[in-house]
């Protein structure tokens, strides 16, 4: 524990150091560490696919304990897709295993001369030849490493997409948990690093086990008592397909519509009754939102971990596909190739709309499931049309005049499933998120959960913040979610535990951390840590060349109302939220953190106003 593992791929050397105390007290772990490494070690102008980029895999201080839903890890680097800060967070069992081996983070520098994988077996660390794995899919790679080193090793790996430097390639944990945004898999591929296999045998020390266990039980009781627990643990995130359709925000045909005519075919209940075999969970999680599914026969026959909401939409309604079996197959293939389903699906949807509008000569039809599935392979191999799709929506739209307005990205990162016209807090969160068009930085589900106006006042000082269709009262709510979200990502607690249920709150996390580590944390301490991380990321992005003009949304969401449904004619007015957001953040009118703010947060001053 408490160790950093440094890997110099060019020299083939590794070394171990203690985690600096200041990192732990000011950044916790996980995303806090990955962003701090970027801030300290990565030149903002570096080519993301060059050896100078640094890839950090970081766990959190609760990883490997019984703390609820806290077995995640974060991978960070400069993103090849956005040219800005990149990171991705994943569940599964890899994070705890890395801590069992005695490491809080692995910091990977340079580029190996040929394909290698990193084997970590407690104190034994070794770079091994991976020539026999190069070219193979994620599932095959994981199986081969389990066969070679024992079925108890936990593996993260890239597929063909990462090898071929697709800028939205994932790193996959155990084959089906995706560290899946901003192209961290391409950076791993650029380093000729195919996989990391880890096994650990250490116990995780807990400073006050009696009070820690009592707190864990209290959190479990609160989670189970929460009104969303029953549905979420039964249907997982797929319940959001139903919620999105009901609110008129089920992204359909690249966001031209918010109601999907084949919704009944892809609803969570149909999925449950037709294909789902079992619920599954990440390490130490009683929410068990994941699912295992089988398509028993037909052209889309497959059996694997099933899709989440994001995939169900971006490879489903967003491309017009209403066949659950086809979506399951596409999900399986994307995982095997190591592709971000949000970016891949949205790139395909963009191409289809270009075709619909006659902006390109080729004809691509909405709902053509076989075309979508074929595209995934072509993207992973950069083959034919796949080479164009592999550029991502922002770069594609630059080559197709007249398409910018419906290119669904922010800062180069393709937008997730939720249509932000039906949630103005989400709209603000995605416009300012430090990794681009991302819902998870803020994830202000509070506005979607039918909270009362009294609850709105009590939590965020505004009765209106509970109304998803208004901009009123959203800024304090989004800032709180961003700060607390950064804490969750750094403690490596799953946000479904904190923002799907609102059962585990900052005071609970402060207690869990205090009892686990022996270091006293208050709720205020944690929210300050979250604010510090948000500011470090903002400054890094500004150093990379981001401007406040990039804090925006696709024109579609700003000017085009939806044609029907509860959100009919609703558009997003960012101008009503952004100035207040910058002001409440203590940033200039141009969205630049002031020197006073940075110094007050104890951040070394580099590139601020
Ligand atoms: S809520 Fe779902 S994604 Fe989050 S830790 Fe639990 S099983 Fe994993």
pLDDT tens-digit readout, 388-409: 999 999 999 999 999 999 999 9
**Alpha-carbon distance 17 to 5, whole Å?**
7
Ligand 1 pocket, residue 290 CB under 6 Å: yes
Helix (H) or strand (E) holding 128: strand 124-129
Residue 39, pLDDT score: 95
**Alpha-carbon distance 390 to 394, whole Å?**
11
Ligand 1 centroid to Cα of residue 111, in Å, is: 33
Residue 329, pLDDT score: 98
Ligand 1 pocket, residue 286 CB under 6 Å: no
**Ligand 1, atom 5: nearest CA belongs to which residue?**
69
Task: Walk across the sheet containing 55-59 and list its strands.
Answer: 13-18, 3-8, 105-109, 55-59, 73-78, 85-90
b or e along 101-129 (b: 16 or more beta carbons within 10 Å of the residue's beta carbon)? bbbbbbbbbbbbeebbbbbbbeeebebbe
Mean pLDDT of 524-543: 97
How many other CB atoms sit within 10 Å of the CB of residue 518? 11
Contact between 491 and 24 (Cβ < 8 Å):
no
Choose between 391 and 175: higher pLDDT: 391
| Ligand 1 probe mutation, 282, 292, 498, most atoms within 8 A of CB | 282
Does residue 501 surpass a pLDDT of 90? no
Residue 1, pLDDT score: 67
Written as six digits, the tokens of 192 are 């000729």
| Ligand 1 probe mutation, 239, 290, 485, 493, most atoms within 8 A of CB | 290
Dihedral sign for Cα 19, 66, 32, 11, please.
positive
Reduced to 3 states (helix: H, G, I; strand: E, B; else coil), residue 17 is: strand
Residue 293, pLDDT score: 96
Helix (H) or strand (E) holding 431: helix 424-432
**Alpha-carbon distance 575 to 552, whole Å?**
10
Ligand 1 pocket, residue 110 CB under 6 Å: no
Ligand 1 pocket, residue 283 CB under 6 Å: no
| Ligand 1 probe mutation, 496, 500, 504, most atoms within 8 A of CB | 496
The residues spanned by each domain of the chain are 3-199, 228-414, 420-600
Q: What are phi and psi of 517, to 5 degrees?
A: -100, -20
Model pLDDT for residues 36-82, shown as the tens digit of each residue: 999 999 999 999 999 999 999 999 999 999 999 999 999 999 999 99
Lookup result for tokens 């304090």 = 476
Ligand 1 pocket, residue 295 CB under 6 Å: no
Mean pLDDT of 429-445: 97
Written as six digits, the tokens of 450 are 């039918």
Ligand 1 pocket, residue 496 CB under 6 Å: yes
Ligand 1 pocket, residue 29 CB under 6 Å: no
**Alpha-carbon distance 399 to 409, whole Å?**
15
Ligand 1 centroid to Cα of residue 278, in Å, is: 14
Ligand 1 centroid to Cα of residue 256, in Å, is: 31
**Alpha-carbon distance 142 to 155, whole Å?**
6
Ligand 1 centroid to Cα of residue 381, in Å, is: 31
| Ligand 1 probe mutation, 231, 279, 288, 310, most atoms within 8 A of CB | 288
Ligand 1 pocket, residue 243 CB under 6 Å: no
Ligand 1 centroid to Cα of residue 237, in Å, is: 10
Ligand 1 pocket, residue 443 CB under 6 Å: no
**Range scoring the smallest mean pLDDT among 330-339, 370-379, 471-480, 600-609:** 600-609
Pick from 309, 306, 363, 364: nearest CA to 334:
306
Tell me which CATH code domain 3-199 carries.
3.60.9.10
Ligand 1 centroid to Cα of residue 288, in Å, is: 6
Does residue 139 surpass a pLDDT of 80? yes
Does residue 502 surpass a pLDDT of 80? yes
Q: How does the average pLDDT of the chain come out, rounded? A: 96
**Ligand 1, atom 4: nearest CA belongs to which residue?**
494
**Percent of the chain at pLDDT above 70?**
99
**Alpha-carbon distance 572 to 470, whole Å?**
9
| Ligand 1 probe mutation, 238, 279, 281, most atoms within 8 A of CB | 281
Ligand 1 centroid to Cα of residue 3, in Å, is: 26
71 Cα nearest atom in ligand 1 = 5
Pick from 6, 5, 12, 7: nearest CA to 114:
12
| Ligand 1 probe mutation, 63, 64, 69, 305, most atoms within 8 A of CB | 69
**Alpha-carbon distance 103 to 3, whole Å?**
5
How many other CB atoms sit within 10 Å of the CB of residue 298? 11
Ligand 1 centroid to Cα of residue 96, in Å, is: 14
232 Cα nearest atom in ligand 1 = 1
Ligand 1 pocket, residue 192 CB under 6 Å: no
Residue 607, pLDDT score: 55
Lookup result for tokens 């006042």 = 457
286 Cα nearest atom in ligand 1 = 6
Ligand 1 pocket, residue 90 CB under 6 Å: no
Q: What are phi and psi of 275, to 5 degrees?
A: -120, -25
Ligand 1 pocket, residue 387 CB under 6 Å: no
228-414 CATH, one of 1.10.569.10, 3.30.70.890, 3.40.50.1100, 3.10.20.520: 1.10.569.10
pLDDT category at 2 given cuts 50, 70, 90 is confident
Residue 175, pLDDT score: 83
Beta strand segments in 235-289, E? 276-280
Ligand 1 centroid to Cα of residue 92, in Å, is: 8
Tell me which CATH code domain 420-600 carries.
1.10.599.10
Ligand 1 pocket, residue 69 CB under 6 Å: yes
Ligand 1 pocket, residue 494 CB under 6 Å: yes
Reduced to 3 states (helix: H, G, I; strand: E, B; else coil), residue 599 is: helix
**Ligand 1, atom 2: nearest CA belongs to which residue?**
289
Q: How do beta strands 85-90 and 105-109 pair?
A: unpaired
HEC string of 539-566? HHHHHCCCCHHHCCCCHHHHHCCECCCC
Written as six digits, the tokens of 523 are 């709720």
Residue 608, pLDDT score: 54
Ligand 1 pocket, residue 173 CB under 6 Å: no
Ligand 1 centroid to Cα of residue 274, in Å, is: 22
């Amino acid at each position: 524990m408490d160790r950093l593992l440094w890997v110099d791929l060019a020299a083939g050397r590794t070394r171990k150091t203690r985690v600096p105390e200041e990192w732990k007290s000011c950044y916790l772990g996980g995303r806090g560490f990955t962003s701090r490494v970027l801030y300290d070690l990565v030149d903002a102008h570096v080519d993301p696919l060059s050896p100078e980029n640094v890839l950090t895999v970081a766990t959190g201080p609760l990883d490997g304990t019984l703390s609820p839903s806290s077995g995640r890890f974060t991978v960070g680097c400069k993103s090849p897709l956005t040219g800005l800060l990149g990171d991705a967070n994943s569940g599964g069992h890899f994070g705890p295993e890395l801590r069992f081996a005695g490491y809080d983070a692995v910091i990977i520098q340079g580029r190996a001369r040929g394909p290698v994988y990193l084997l970590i077996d407690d104190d034994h660390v070794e770079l091994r030849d991976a020539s026999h794995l190069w070219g193979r899919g994620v599932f095959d790679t994981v199986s081969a490493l389990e066969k070679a080193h024992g079925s108890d090793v936990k593996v993260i790996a890239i597929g063909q997409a990462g090898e071929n430097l697709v800028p939205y390639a994932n790193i996959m944990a155990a084959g089906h948990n995706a560290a899946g945004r901003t192209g961290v898999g391409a950076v791993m591929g650029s380093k000729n690093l195919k996989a990391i296999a880890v096994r650990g045998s250490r116990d995780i020390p807990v400073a006050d086990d009696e009070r820690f266990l009592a707190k864990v039980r209290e959190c479990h009781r609160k989670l189970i008592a929460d009104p969303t627990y029953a549905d979420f643990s039964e249907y997982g995130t797929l319940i959001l397909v139903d919620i999105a359709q009901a609110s008129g925000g089920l992204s359909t045909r690249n966001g031209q519509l918010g109601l999907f005519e084949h919704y009944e075919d892809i609803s969570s209940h149909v999925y449950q009754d037709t294909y789902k075999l079992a619920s599954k969970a990440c390490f130490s999680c009683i929410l068990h939102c994941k699912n295992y599914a089988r398509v028993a026969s037909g052209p889309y026959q497959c059996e694997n971990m099933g899709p989440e909401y994001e995939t169900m939409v971006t490879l489903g309604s967003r491309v017009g596909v209403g066949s659950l079996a086809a979506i399951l197959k596409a999900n399986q293939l994307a995982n095997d190739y190591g592709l971000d389903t949000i970016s891949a699906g949205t790139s395909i949807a963009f191409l289809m709309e270009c075709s619909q509008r006659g902006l390109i000569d080729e004809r691509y039809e909405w709902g053509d499931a076989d075309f979508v599935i074929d595209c995934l392979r072509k993207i992973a191999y950069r083959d034919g049309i796949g080479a164009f799709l592999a550029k991502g929506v922002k770069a594609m739209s630059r080559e197709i005049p007249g398409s910018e307005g419906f290119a669904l990205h922010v800062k180069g990162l393709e937008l997730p499933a939720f249509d932000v016209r039906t949630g103005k807090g989400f709209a603000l969160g995605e416009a300012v998120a430090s990794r681009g068009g991302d819902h998870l930085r803020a994830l202000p589900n509070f506005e979607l959960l039918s909270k009362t106006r009294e609850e709105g006042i009590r939590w965020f000082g505004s009765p209106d913040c509970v109304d998803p269709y208004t901009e009123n009262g959203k800024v304090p709510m989004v800032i709180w979610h961003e700060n607390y979200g950064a804490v969750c990502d750094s403690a490596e607690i799953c946000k479904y535990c904190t923002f799907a249920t609102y059962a585990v709150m900052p005071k609970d996390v402060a207690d869990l951390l205090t009892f686990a580590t022996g270091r006293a944390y208050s709720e205020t301490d944690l929210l300050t840590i979250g604010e510090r991380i948000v500011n470090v990321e903002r400054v890094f992005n500004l150093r990379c060349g981001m401007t406040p003009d990039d804090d925006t949304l696709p024109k579609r969401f700003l000017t085009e109302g939806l044609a029907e449904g509860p959100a009919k004619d609703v558009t997003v007015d960012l101008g009503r939220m952004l100035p207040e957001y910058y002001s409440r953040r203590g940033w200039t009118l141009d969205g630049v953190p002031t020197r006073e703010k940075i110094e007050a947060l104890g951040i070394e001053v580099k590139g601020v106003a």
